[in-house]
Structure 1
Amino acid sequence: MALTDEQRAEITAQRHAPAQTMRPTVPAMEALLFEPFELLDHGFLRVVDYMGDDSAVVQAARVSYGKGTRRTSEDAGLIRYLMRHRHSTPFEMCEIKFHVKLPLFVARQWIRHRMANVNEYSARYSVLDKEFYLPAAEQIAAQSRSNKQGRGDALSAEAAQEVLSILQRDALQCYDDYEQMLDSEGMGVARELARVNLTLNTYTQWYWKIDLHNLMHFLALRSDPHAQYEIRVYAQKMIEILKAWVPQTAAAFEEYRLGAHSFSAGMLNVLRRRLAGEDVTQENSGITKREWAEMMAVLEADAS
């Protein structure tokens, strides 16, 4: 279970205790504030605070006092210009804070994005819950032959079930040993030491605050099909939240980041030669086989 009845009651109380403010707010965000979105088997994601909106990006870019008399279409055009030319500082004027419950191995990937403020549940101070991530059977796959850090073909139903049994057995055994070490009438081991025995699929929680520019960088990487499935689940829900929070920025982000591709100087040279009617193959292209394959994958995908 992602949330206990006590936690749900606390969230309900928060949602029914509105506060007046003079700062700009976004109705769509106010509607989902504090609401937990359950992800994976025991995880969740919720927005606990935010600052700014699309107009804050525009205001920062123009260094103006307010919305002024400009039309919405002009603001959208400016946001698209900023996104297209990768101007980052206006987007840094908006911030959002999430409360996230996630498996430890996902947290270790997530924390690589250093441009954020993080406060994680302390297993030195408190005892971690007896909750572990177990993937759905269809997500259990063999090592990819082409991607050294990714999954390939799904295992058979029988093999997947065996893997699940191993994961569950080991997690339960390690947690039982964890509790035994913590027992004050037995070993009485310090929490900071006992925790080292826990498996990486144990759930943790944190508060994670980040500005809009760095959030979009995170989402561009972690929603990519090459990212690990478990972190993509969180990224995809955050993209939905992004659309509610800053719809004009989200539209520009989808157009110029998520739906766009970058070509190297060598790749662009190949494209110019092909447009000029030259017969260009990988052998005479001047780029590596891997670059050629990546370029063609983009072009063929777009063409289809």
Structure 2
Amino acid sequence: MTLTPEQHAEIEEQRSLSQPTRRAVSPGMEERLYTAHPVLDHGLVRVIDYMGDDSAITQAARVSYGRGTKKVSDDRGLIRYLMRHWHSTPFEMCEVKFHVKLPVFVARQWIRHRTANVNEYSARYSILDREFYIPEPDKLAAQSTVNHQGRGAVLQGEEAARVLDILREDAMRSYDHYEDMLTPDAEAGKQGLARELARMNLPMNTYTQWYWKVDLHNLFHFLRLRADAHAQYEIRAYADTMCEIVKDWVPAAYEAFEDYRLGGVNLSGRAVEVLKRRLAGETVTAETSGMSKGEWREFEAVWG
């Protein structure tokens, strides 16, 4: 991760300031505020601001559902109940704003989650830095033979070295041309191309930055998909870092999320029926399950 001296100074200044407040604060998140957590080779995640804590979730739930929730013995139990039964609005009472630095191709995956507020660094007004994501050798893999959007075996030896050389050389050459197109030169008769046009020459592994503000319910949805083992490694690296941050922010809510979402399994009606038949002593096969081949394969991967 590369931070400029100005960015380091800004972070230190922000972390040195403290304001008295009557609002709820999370001690774990207070420690995380403004700190830049490195991701990939030049990326980062840092918390700019947040609202709410575990108690904000239970407070909202008790307002929403009235006296019935008084039977829940404690906040942890109520939060687990809400997560278990897929209630969403109490978790929307908490919000967080991240500063994220990430490769453009990761950003294009990320932006598909349309339930957040985003403001991205503008390459129309500013010049992008000469920073590119170059994978570690063990992250270079061939196309999977069974998953059309996944990776297979890791590339080895000369092929891996050749791919890394291509990635580096193409990125540097593209940036050289980007700079050249931007630079006016009166003696050479060059006016210099507009930034909004010159940027089209940059590769997808160029780093961009944005502020991303989201409520906890939609953040959990993002993390459930992107921290999953099947997610692309590069976006999963960001999701894993954010999981550690959220764990410190709302520990009870994260515990429930980890148990019921990350570590849980959703079953179709047919899958439930197959499990009941197995428990009754019946031998159920793919042919007698009523499932498609893909569904049966996924069922066996979890249940054997």
TM-score by length of 1: 0.95
Q: Which runs of 5+ in 2 are unaligned?
A: 65-69
What is the CA distance between 1:5 and its match in structure 2?
1.7
**Could you tell which deviates more after superposition, 209-218 or 4-13?**
4-13
**Conserved? CA contact 1:180–1:187, under 8 Å:** no
State the match for 2:67 in structure 1. Answer: none
Cα shift readout 1:58-98 (whole Å, capped 9, x = no counterpart):
0000019xxxxx89961100000000000000000000000
Q: Which residue matches 1:78?
A: 78
Whether 1:106 aligns to 2:106 is yes
Aligned mates of 1:94, 1:237 — CA distance in 2: 19
Is the 1:91–1:211 contact (alpha carbons within 8 Å) kept by the matching residues of 2? yes
Q: How many residues align?
A: 295
Give the Cα separation in 2 of the matches to 1:130 and 1:278. Answer: 62
Which of 220, 238, 246 is 2:242 aligned to? Answer: 238
Correspondences of 1:44-83 after superposition (within 5 Å): 44-63=44-63, 74-83=74-83
Q: Check conservation: 2:72, 2:78, Cα contact below 8 A.
A: no
How far the C-alpha of 1:158 sits from its partner, in A, is 2.0
Q: 1:269: Cα distance to partner? A: 1.3
Please, which moves more after superposition, 84-93 or 71-80?
Answer: 71-80
Measure, in 1, the Cα distance between the counterparts of 2:302 and 2:284.
17
Matched residue, 1:173: 173
Q: Are the counterparts in 2 of residues 142 and 151 from structure 1 also a CA contact under 8 Å?
A: yes
What runs of 5+ residues in structure 1 fail to find an aligned partner? 65-69
Aligned: 1:285 with 2:289:
yes
Indicate how the Cα distance of structure 1 residues 78 and 144 shifts in structure 2: closer, same or farther if over 3 A, else same.
Answer: same
Equivalent in the alignment of 1:123? 123
Pairwise CA distance, 1:187: 4.3
CA distance in 2, matches of 1:72, 1:191: 58
2:263 to 253, 259, 266: 259
**Offset, 1:184:** 2.0
Q: Distance in 1 between matches of 2:73 and 2:204?
A: 48
CA drift at 1:279 = 1.6
SS across alignment from 1:298:
helix
8 Å Cα contact 2:102/2:209 also seen in 1: yes
CA distance in 2, matches of 1:101, 1:171: 18
Please tell me the residue identity of whatever aligns with 1:147: N
Q: Are 2:163 and 1:159 equivalent residues in the alignment?
A: no
Secondary structure at the aligned position of 1:130 is classed as coil
Q: Distance in 2 between matches of 1:295 and 1:224?
A: 17
Secondary structure of 1:63's aligned partner? helix
Query: Any idea what the Cα deviations from partners look like across 1:105-124, whole Å, max 9, x if unmatched?
Result: 00000000000000000000
Letter in 2 for 1:41: D
AA partner of residue 286 (structure 1): G
Offset of 1:254 from its aligned partner?
0.6
Partner of 1:210: 214
- SS in structure 1 at match of 2:302: helix
- For residues 130 and 72 of structure 1, the distance between their equivalents in structure 2, rounded to whole angstroms, comes to 55
